[in-house]
């Protein structure tokens, strides 16, 4: 059995206007504001990239902090 994914944008479109959702999903009517939708998609793609980068940087910082603490503990254990 194959499930169809429901995107958050579809849910917000449905909540905002059920008729617009129905026209798009069931009748195939395209939006008139394609340029604005494209700009929004590009913005969210860029933002997602920044979030991924920030997550990697945070994880790297945690790793470096762990290494520094491990080094200090190791030095104290030897001395």
Distances (CA, A) of 72 to 33, 63, 65, 67: 59, 14, 11, 9
Angle in degrees, CA 45, 51, 53, rounded to 5? 105
Angle in degrees, CA 69, 70, 75, rounded to 5? 100
Give me the pLDDT at residue 10, please: 85
Tell me the pTM.
Answer: 0.56
**Mean pLDDT by 10-residue block, N- to C-terminus, for the chain (79 residues)?**
81 89 83 87 94 98 98 93
**Structure tokens belonging to residue 77:** 């254990």
């Amino acid at each position: 059995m194959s499930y169809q994914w429901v995107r958050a944008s579809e849910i917000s479109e449905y909540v905002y206007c059920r008729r617009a959702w129905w026209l798009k999903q069931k009748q195939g009517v395209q939006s008139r504001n394609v340029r604005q939708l494209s700009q929004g998609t590009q913005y969210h793609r860029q933002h997602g990239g920044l979030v991924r980068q920030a997550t990697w940087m945070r994880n790297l910082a945690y790793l470096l902090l762990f290494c520094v603490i491990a080094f200090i503990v190791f030095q104290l254990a030897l001395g």
